[in-house]
Amino acid sequence: MSFFKRLKESVSRTTSSVTEKFKNGLSKTSASLAGAMSSVFSRNKIDEELYEELEDILISADVGVDTTMEIVDRLRVEVKERKLKDPEELKPLLSEILVDMLKGEGDEAGMNQNPDGLTVILFVGVNGVGKTTTIGKLAHHYKEEGKKVMLAAGDTFRAGAIEQLEIWGDRVGVDVIRHQEGSDPAAVIYDGIQAARSRGADILLCDTAGRLQNKVNLMEELKKVHRVIGREVADAPHESLLVLDATTGQNALQQAKIFKEATNITGIVLTKMDGTAKGGIALAIRRELNVPVKWIGLGEKMDDLQPFNAEQFVHALFAKEVEKETGGA
């Protein structure tokens, strides 16, 4: 069975609405990336010019130089081993390499949760990336699963951050634990843990500040928050999710490297993916950080934050090619 057929079968195991969300949310990247590649695949032969053009396209989609070089090097090796001659044969091969790179090891395990009590999920990231909105949407996701969810407003320094989280709490219908603006974030999250326990919550989602201009202070603050959580709940935080704005491209990658130095990042949330034609940043982040992308923002609706799926992602990029080979829906 060809890779495109296997890819379509894998995608078909999820609901069609999820597939459509990925296709719609990644339409700009697909048009840019797959559209530009059509000229590469329509060449007469596989030669050095083809590889160079492919490199330019991948780099322009924010895949990054190092990640692009690895993709093209793997492509060269596979072309030689499989004795491929027709550029058309590179389409499924490239897709296979991208899925493999996006998956990494252990990515299929999903979100870590505490089976015996309260699950604590910590969110980090700079201001403006959509962190608070992500927390609200994730609260909605877990509430739809039947979980009792609470929020802790640990971003006590940004004007309006607490109120913004409370608005989301009201919208979703979950309690928010808050202190006054300027309070100690670790104290807020400590109180959040106590309240979540006393009210029988399953999941506590914790917001944090994102003042990267005060890097040293921020990183020390995050370490303190980690210590408090770990002291109060065994093996917590069960997830530390770094929220990144996909539209900022390589800047998002630099932010990720800084946060990874300070705290144990277990997963990435890529927001605003529907607003960029450079969704290749997902590949760069996955490879260079060795941290899985766990959630992806594909629109503004409450349920447009979706669990990341490598097959769905690549299928959305090459949907037209997959349908062409597999004979449509």
Q: Which long-range contacts (CB under 8 A, 24 or more apart) does 139-143 make?
A: 139/168, 139/169, 139/172, 139/174, 139/205, 140/172, 140/302, 140/303, 141/303, 141/305, 142/202, 142/203, 143/172, 143/173, 143/174
- The reply to whether 127 sits in an annotated binding site is yes
Judge if the upstream peptide bond of residue 237 is cis by omega within 30 degrees of 0: yes
- The reply to whether 128 sits in an annotated binding site is yes
Residue 191: left (phi > 0), alpha (psi -120 to 50), or beta?
Answer: alpha
- The reply to whether 129 sits in an annotated binding site is yes
Dihedral angle sign, alpha carbons of residues 237, 239, 242, 245: negative
- The reply to whether 208 sits in an annotated binding site is yes
- The reply to whether 132 sits in an annotated binding site is yes
Tokens of 223: 């370490």
- The reply to whether 125 sits in an annotated binding site is yes
- The reply to whether 284 sits in an annotated binding site is no
Q: Do the Cβ atoms of 317 and 26 come closer than 8 Å?
A: yes
- The reply to whether 126 sits in an annotated binding site is yes
- The reply to whether 130 sits in an annotated binding site is yes
- The reply to whether 273 sits in an annotated binding site is yes
Query: Known binding site for GTP: residues?
Result: 125-132, 207-211, 271-274
Residues annotated within a binding site: 125-132, 207-211, 271-274
